[in-house]
Amino acid sequence: MTTTSMLAEYRAGRLSPVEAVKDALGRIEEQDGSLNAFCLVDAARALADAAASEERWRRGEPRGLLDGVPVSVKDLLLTAGWPTLRGSHSIDPDQLWDVDAPSVARLREHHAVIIGKTTTPELGWKGVTDSPLTGVTRNPWDTTKTAGGSSGGAAVAVATGMGAIALGTDGGGSIRIPASFSGVFGIKPTYGLVPIYPASPFGTLSHVGPLSWSVRDSALALDVLSGMDSRDWSAGPRPHESFVAAAESATVAGMRIAFSPDLGYVSVDPEVAALVESAVSVFTELGAVVSVADPGFADPVDAFHVLWFSGAAAVTAPLTDAQRARLDPGLREVSAQGAEYSALDFIEATATRAALGRTMGAFHEQYDLLLTPTMPIPAFEAGVEAPPGFDRWTGWTPFTYPFNLTQQPAATVPCGFTSAGLPVGLQVVGPRHADARVLAACAAFEQARPWQPNRDPSHS
């Protein structure tokens, strides 16, 4: 059930928050042993919060936009009362945990029921979800495959009904990768729309955003999550527009849309390419003017590596030798590489980033949106950083990390299944601060090609 439907049922008295939360907890109990989406579940607290919500709805006095909706939070985001271990043995669980991240605080203000924390690779460093602390998170459509990452637990939770909305983070594709692999909707909003505290070790590459069963649900989540927080100097004000209203407009008529099948340099699996091309044709049918066009930039992976690996080096620098020995081996490697970069390397990577931003700014003067595949390949073997033929996770995520460098809003919508039954996603990218436009376009596609009836992997 979508969040929108759930809230309508609460309002009509046909469903209670306690029933919805019990259902989510039941799914966790039934399915999470084989999927590993959650690293912490607090059933007692969730049921107590649901009972309080049920009483508010009974009195006709719900509080907030998400009262009684079961949600989850990625274990990179602080949650008061629970440890935030980030998939790492290096973090001491026995300390005071009394602070909510801004996004978590907003969920509580709107009385969502937070049922637990979802899995992440160690410190969120890669595009799949496995860690020395919590093990391997698996794809609900095929448990031999990866769910993607680093918000892999969040995507699996939504795909299997273990909560209606999940909070994720995205520093190089970490919402869009698992959403695409798991067959759900996910959006990385414009940087600064959702405040972050504490600051990510990966700096302004990292965004917070929702994953959900429908576009409107994520729009509703962004109405809750957006706005300034005094702890984040880089956060912007809450927009005047309603993201729900934008999603409900669900139109692309008259938009000028570019479709780039490969950004000019990416090799795409033929089955993925065909599904995405079919999805793009829908936008023409809906009245958009669609042209095949590449933005015109070279692969910025080297600059991304400098910025990303430097962040990994910084966050692991205080660790003891014993702690470092327990790190994910890949994280150890990229941290060592990051430690070798100079300040000049960092400045040059930042200049490359700025140039890429200018290129995309000019591109969006001509085109309202850019469509690409979200991923060039379907989900691959679980428990490895990359499939054969690739060294690092960035090798198989070329469509996602460029738009972290530019801080643009980028979403993924399910657009079909491979012959092996694995989900494929279409990426919708807008200019900075055009989050409402991205949501409207995704909602229009969702209406034309609804994926929810085919989306529950437990019934596949």
Identity of residue 278: S
How is the chain split into domains, by residue range?
3-302+334-459
Q: Which residue has the higher pLDDT, 238 or 37?
A: 37
Separation CA 427–CA 384 (nearest Å): 24
pLDDT above 60 (res 418): yes
pLDDT at res. 457: 75
**CA nearest neighbour of 47 among 72, 67, 20, 66:** 20
Residues 6 or more apart in contact with residue 453 via CB below 8 angstroms: none
- What's the sign of the alpha-carbon dihedral 99, 104, 105, 111? negative
Give the pLDDT confidence score for residue 242 in this predicted structure.
Answer: 95
Check residue 104 and give its pLDDT: 98
* pLDDT tens per residue across span 337-361: 999 999 999 999 999 999 999 999 9
Distance between CA atoms of residues 132 and 20, nearest Å: 32
Instruction: Report the SS3 class of residue 279.
Output: helix
* Catalytic site includes residue 150: yes
Rounded CA-CA distance 158/215 in Å is 13
pTM of the model: 0.97
When pLDDT is cut at 50, 70 and 90, the band that residue 458 belongs to is low
Residues 185/170, Cβ–Cβ less than 8 Å: no
- Residue 108 CB: number of other CB atoms within 10 A? 16
- Pick the catalytic residue: 16, 53, 74, 335? 74
Q: Which residues contact 84 (CB under 8 A, 6 or more apart)?
A: 75, 76, 77, 78, 91, 97, 117
Residue 456: per-residue pLDDT: 64
Active-site annotation holder among 53, 72, 174, 206: 174
Question: Are 18 and 55 within 8 A, CB to CB?
Answer: no
The rounded Cα 404 to chain-centroid distance in angstroms is 12
238, pLDDT greater than 90: no
- Span 276-304, mean pLDDT? 98
2-9 mean pLDDT: 96
CA dist 323 → 18, 317, 332 (Å): 42, 11, 11
Element (H, E) at 186: strand 185-188
Mean pLDDT of 321-336: 98
Q: Are 375 and 181 in contact (CB under 8 A)?
A: yes
The more confidently predicted of residues 427 and 239 is 427
Helix (H) or strand (E) holding 341: none
pLDDT at residue 290 greater than cutoff 60? yes
What are 115-138's pLDDT values in tens digits? 999 999 999 999 999 999 999 999
| pLDDT tens-digit map of 34-88 | 999 999 999 999 999 999 999 999 999 999 999 999 999 999 999 999 999 999 9
Mark whether 174 is an active-site residue.
yes
200 is catalytic: no
pLDDT single digits (tens) 180-229: 999 999 999 999 999 999 999 999 999 999 999 999 999 999 999 999 99
A 10 A CB-CB count for 341 gives: 17
Residue of 53, 88, 150, 214 marked active site: 150
The percent of residues in the chain predicted with pLDDT above 90, rounded, is 97
Residues 341 and 310: their CA atoms lie apart, in Å, by: 7
Report the distance separating Cα 51 and Cα 307, nearest Å.
Answer: 46
Residue the block writes with tokens 């099948």: 261
Domain 3-302+334-459 maps to which CATH number in 3.40.50.150, 3.40.640.10, 3.90.1300.10, 1.10.540.10? 3.90.1300.10
